[in-house]
């Protein structure tokens, strides 16, 4: 298995730990499993949507222009409790993460 991963066999040295005999296959399997474990641990942190309609395969909202009125403010940070509308939660998100996200504001020129 180690020979299937480029460079991995050079990193794994059987018998590296005194008193333990570790085969290349066992060492490669351990490395693979640890890599998978730590990768799966970090994946949720990369998600944008942490809480909204998580049972849905895709979150989509659609509005008719006639129903928007003079002004509408839509969330783009996915942290609003009033999603898809902005409730100001982006401010806390930006402070905590050093991000710079903000809402989408749609308004009529001459209401």
Give the residues lining the site for ligand FES (CB under 6 A). 75-77, 79-80, 86-90, 101-103
In the complex with ligand FES, the residue whose CB is nearer, 32 or 74, is: 74
- Of residues 9 and 94, the one with the C-beta less far from ligand FES: 94
- Closest to 48 measured CA to CA, from 58, 40, 38: 58
Euclidean distance between the first and final Cα of the chain, in Å? Answer: 67
* 3 state DSSP class of 73: strand
> Minimum CB separation from ligand FES for residue 88, in Å?
6
By beta-carbon proximity to ligand FES, the closer residue of 24 and 93 is: 93
Catalytic residue list:
58
Tell me how far the alpha carbon of residue 90 is from its chain's centroid: 17
Alpha carbon distance 57, 30 (integer Å) = 33
């Amino acid at each position: 298995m180690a020979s299937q991963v480029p460079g991995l066999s050079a990193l794994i040295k059987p018998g590296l730990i005194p008193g333990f005999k570790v085969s290349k296959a066992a060492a490669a399997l351990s490395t693979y499993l640890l890599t998978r474990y730590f990768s799966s641990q970090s994946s949720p942190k990369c998600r944008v949507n942490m809480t909204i309609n998580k049972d849905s395969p895709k979150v989509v909202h659609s509005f008719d222009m006639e129903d928007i009125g003079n002004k509408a403010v839509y969330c783009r940070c996915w942290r609003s409790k009033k999603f898809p509308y902005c409730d100001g939660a982006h401010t806390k998100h930006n402070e905590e993460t050093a991000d710079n996200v903000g809402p989408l504001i749609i308004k009529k020129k001459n209401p």
